[in-house]
Structure formats: C-alpha cells, structure tokens
Amino acid sequence: MPEFEGKVNCIYIDPPYNTGNEGWVYNDNVNDPRIIKWLGDVVGKEGEDLSRHDKWLCMMYPRLKLLHRLLADDGVIFVSIDRVEFIHLKAILNEIFGETNWVGEIAWKNVTDNNPTNISLEHEYVVCYAKFKSLIPSVWKSTFSDAKTVLLSLERELLDKYSDDIDQLKSVYNEWFKNNKKFLGSLDRYKYIDLGGIYTGSQSVHNPGKEGYRYDVYHPETKRPCKEPLMGYRFPYETMEKLLAEGKILFGADETKLIELKLYVSEYKSKLASIIELDSRIGTNEIKSIFPEDKRPFDYPKPSVFIEDLLGFATDSESLILDSFAGSGTTAHAVLKLNAEDGGNRRFILCEMMDYAESITAERVRRVMEGYGEGNKKVEGLGGSFDFYELGDALFSESGLLNESVGIERIRQYIAYSESIPLDNQLPVENSISPSALGINQQTLWLFHYNKDAITSLDLEFLGTLNLQNISRPSQFVVYADKCVLDDKFMQKHGISFKRIPRDIIRF
C-alpha cells in the first residue's frame, strides 16, 4: 500500500473457482489452513457454519477491497471465473466497484463438450470492472480506435508523397514514430513502413497448441533453414509459400531468429471481443515446455496469449500490472511477451501464498526471461528482471500490540503512510529536528516518540528535546507516544495533537 496505492493500471486475477474438485493445485474447498484461520479470526465463529459459496465470498471480499484501493483511477480489473461463482462474483464486484463501473464480460470458449444429453458447457468468463468507467473511453478509444485512424491517415499521406522513394518514406515515418510513439498505446509496435503500409511483426505463424507443421523456411541472405518454432508452424507449407510470395514473412538478421508474420495496421482488430475461442490446453503445453523435467508442473494454467490479449488492450507500454493469484506466473509471462514485442517497459507484481511460489511461479519467470529448452526447441529469453520477496511478520500481534520485531523503520514507514505524509516530506531517523521526527511540511510536524524498552510520554521534557531553530515553526504538531501528561489547554494553545501507541495506529 505505501508505494502502490492508486497506481496499478491493470489487475488480472484467476482466483479459485470453488468447483469442489480437489485435484486442482488451488484447494477450491477453501480448506487451506491459512484461509480457515482467516475465517475464524476475521469472519468470526459464524464462519464454521457458512455454506461453500459463503466461504468463497469471505475469502474474496477483503482481497477485492484491497485491489480496489491499489487500482489507479483509470485502471481496470479482469477476473477469471466459471459458472459456479459467476453470479456471486458479480454481486461483490457491483458492491465494491459499483454497477456503473461494470465494463463487460468475456465468454472464453476453451473446451469442446461432446456430451449429447445436456447443454454443452464449453466456456468460462472474464469479468471486467473499472475504478471509474468514465475515465476509460478516452484511454482505450485513443489507444486503439483513434490511434488506428491516425496511423491509417498518415499511411495514405506518406504513400502518396513518397511512393517513389522508399528510403525517404522510411526515414520520414521513423522520425514521426519516434516523436509520437507514446500516444499510440499498444499500437506502438507498428514501427515499420513499406509500400504496403505501416506494419509490425507477429509470431502468429507459430502453432501455440498441439504439434504443428514441420518444414524448412530458408533465410533469403544466408540461404540456411531458419530456426523452427517450438510447436511447429500453424499452417501447411502451401500457405507459407503463398505468404513468402506476397512478402508477408519477416526474417531476422540471420537464420537463428524465428520468422514472423508481417501484419499491417489496416488488419489490426480495434476491439476486445466478448467471445474468445482458444484451446485451454495451450496453457498446459506451454508450461510443460518450460518445465520439461516435471510431467505435471501445474494444473490448468491459463495460456499466456490469452492474458496477453487482455493486457494488450487495457495497458500501454509503461503500465503497472498486478496479479494477486499468481499461480504459475502466466501474467508475468504475458507482460514480458508484450514488452518484447513493442519494446515496452511494463512492470508486474505477482503475489502467491502457496508453497510453489518460488519453485514454479518465480522459476517460470526466470526461465522465460533467460530462455529455456534445448537444441532446435530452444526458446530465446525475453529479457527483464524481478525481485523475489517473502512476506514478513505482521505489524501488529494478535493481541493488537505493535510487533516490535518488524523493526523501527517499518513501523515509521507504516505510520507515515497512514498519515498520508508525502515521500518528499518524510524524514529519516537521523535528522536535525529529532530522532522521533517522521515528516514535516509548512503546516505540520509529525513525531513518533517510541522506545521498545520503555514507556514514552508526551511531556514538556520531550518537547524540549526538539530542535526547531533552523526551520519555520509549524502551526501543528502530531505526536505519537504511549501516554500524554500535558493538559488540554496547553495542547490547544500550541496546536498539538496526541495519538496513543498502538491504539491510534491500529485504527488505520
């Protein structure tokens, strides 16, 4: 919260679906000891008698409340879910985000059900809400619809003017692109132009699911076979020949680079469809290729291309993306792919409470960054970096007292955040005013008079230790201490507010 409240541009979460299927990596019956403890401590004794749906809601509600606070004003949240909890999820999202901030639902057709006796259930959902929906159209519309219109208009203008001079055409467009890239959103990867128009490269020649077609495509310069995609090509060689003849295939500097399909901006789909068809087995095959040593590293992971589509629509190249049900790390994978495609600087935050957080979640991110596989199945790394942390002790003990083991720095940081002291106004322990000084601006001096080995008092002796000679005297003092011995009249006269440790900290 201190660093990221109100700053996350897009949240994607894939919480437990509460299917009752114990075979899932996530325990959908909410029997994890930490969840049971939360139900007992926070929900109370009535949690013992709650229904399966009630327990799921109790698990989700506080998390969604926190995510709402972390989301930027123009940010959106995507939540994957299936029919079991769809209606209940909608209810709490309506309560927390507001019905007016509902953006839409996506039906993801991800399986084929050949059961002839019932309605074929072949889809899941992705529910989307905004922090403030009124702020979204200007962002999404300018990023996609308007950006595409601008590029097509520029394309016509440049082709009319420079169709006889390809070098000049490229030079003029390169200069325009350099100066306007930040306004194009996810269309900022359309950085090339030829006589066919403005274009980018896409890996959509590669087969993302089961084994594809195998054949050689020769590099035009080195005359050697190009590196073959991990799962082969998406279409037969006859189609590839046609694309080669049409100049729709992009080659790297040499045969070691995977070929790409040339996509013109005129072909770009400027909407996020409400129905998406994508085989969910793609995600399973994807993670198996990343962890070949493990027969079943993670059950039912989402395909990275699926999340990539969502993020590509709702984020730009500088966005911050959060996934608090990180699972196998698919969201980070999708962010890294987007950055590799458009040169973006998107950042991600993943949270995972299960014991595979390092062995699978973080390890997947490492391998995707550095590359994985061997021989002709070697997948090049996408680059990037990340930090891995384990959550430390809670700031407060179960009895409500300060947990002094977290250290004075963390306690001061929390109080400064709770008092909404801007970073520029916060003070280190070593400062010219007092070791107790937390922060100062023109009106207020905040003080945290704390000693873990003794009771502290707000009294004349403490006030006499403050060095105020080299600053403009503030009109208000906010002082945290264990007790106060000054009378109300003195406090009012000198603009002093007293806050007791830990009572007035806990209330934040």
β partners of residue 462: none
The pLDDT score that the predictor gives to residue 36 is: 67
Q: Which runs of consecutive H residues, i.e. helices, occur in 343-420?
A: 363-370, 408-418
Segment (H or E) for 169: helix 166-180
- DSSP H or E run through 461: helix 460-464
Interval 305-322 mean pLDDT? 89
The predicted structure's pLDDT at residue 505: 67
Confidence bin at 450 (pLDDT 50/70/90): very high
What is the pLDDT, as a whole number, of residue 185?
64
pLDDT at 25: 41
* 184-212 exposure pattern, b = at least 16 Cβ within 10 A, e = fewer: bbbbbbbbbbeeebbbbbebebbbbbeeb
In three-state secondary structure terms, 255 is coil
- C-alpha pair distances (Å), 261 with each of 32, 74, 159: 46, 33, 22
* Long-range CB pairs of 290-295, under 8 A, 24+ apart, other chains included: 290/364, 290/367, 290/368, 290/372, 291/360, 291/363, 291/364, 291/367, 292/373
Give the largest CA-CA distance in the chain: 91
Per-residue tokens: 310: 């969502």
- Provide CB contacts within 8 A for 131, sequence distance 6+: 68, 71, 72, 73, 74, 75, 76, 97, 101
Global model pTM greater than 0.85: no
What value does the mean pLDDT take over residues 125-140?
80
Tell which residue, 318, 337, 408, 351, has the closest CA to residue 7.
318
What's the confidence (pLDDT) of residue 121? 81
pLDDT of residue 492: 95
Q: Which helix (H) or strand (E) segment is 158 a member of?
A: helix 147-162
> In 390-450, where do the E strands start and end?
437-440, 444-448
> Mean pLDDT across the stretch 89-107?
94
Q: How far apart are CA 255 and CA 225, in angstroms?
A: 6
Distance between CA atoms of residues 268 and 286, nearest Å: 25
Could you tell me if 322 and 11 are in contact, meaning their C-beta atoms sit under 8 angstroms apart?
A: yes
The domain spans of the chain are 8-131+272-380, 138-267, 404-506
- Give the lowest-confidence range in 199-213, 288-302, 382-396, 401-415: 199-213
Question: CA 233, 290, 34 angle in degrees (round to 5)?
Answer: 135
Q: What is the mean pLDDT of residues 101-114?
A: 87
Copy the structure tokens of residue 121.
Answer: 């259930």
The rounded mean pLDDT for the chain is: 85
Contacts of 183 (CB under 8 A, 6+ apart): 142, 147
Task: Indicate the pairing of strand 249-250 with strand 260-264.
Answer: antiparallel
* 378, pLDDT greater than 60: yes
Alpha carbon 475 to its chain centroid, in Å, reads 42
Asked whether the predicted pLDDT for residue 426 surpasses 90, the reply is yes
pLDDT at res. 145: 44
Which fold is adopted by the domain 404-506? Trna Endonuclease; Chain: A, domain 1 (3.40.1350)
Categorize the per-residue pLDDT at 26 as very low, low, confident or very high, splitting at 50, 70 and 90. very low
Instruction: Express each pLDDT in 168-183 by its tens digit.
Output: 999 999 999 988 876 7
Tokens representing residue 374 in the block: 């061997």
365 pLDDT higher than 70: yes
Q: Tell me what pLDDT residue 336 has.
A: 93
How far, rounded to the nearest angstrom, does the alpha carbon of residue 343 sit from its chain's CA centroid?
17
Mean pLDDT value of segment 21-33: 51
The predicted pLDDT at position 142 comes to: 35
Q: What is the pLDDT of residue 13?
A: 97
- 436 pLDDT exceeds 90? yes
Task: Provide the pLDDT for residue 503.
Answer: 65
Pick the CATH number of 8-131+272-380 from 3.40.50.150, 3.40.50.300, 3.40.50.1100, 3.40.50.2000: 3.40.50.150
pLDDT digits (tens, 9 = 90+) for 46-55: 555 567 788 7
Nearest to 108 by CA among 271, 252, 269, 302: 302
ω into residue 502 within 30 of 0, thus cis?
yes
Please check the confidence at residue 20 and state whether its pLDDT lies above 60. Answer: yes
The DSSP bridge pattern shows strands 260-264 and 197-202 to be antiparallel
For the stretch 69-88, pLDDT in tens is 999 999 999 999 999 899 99
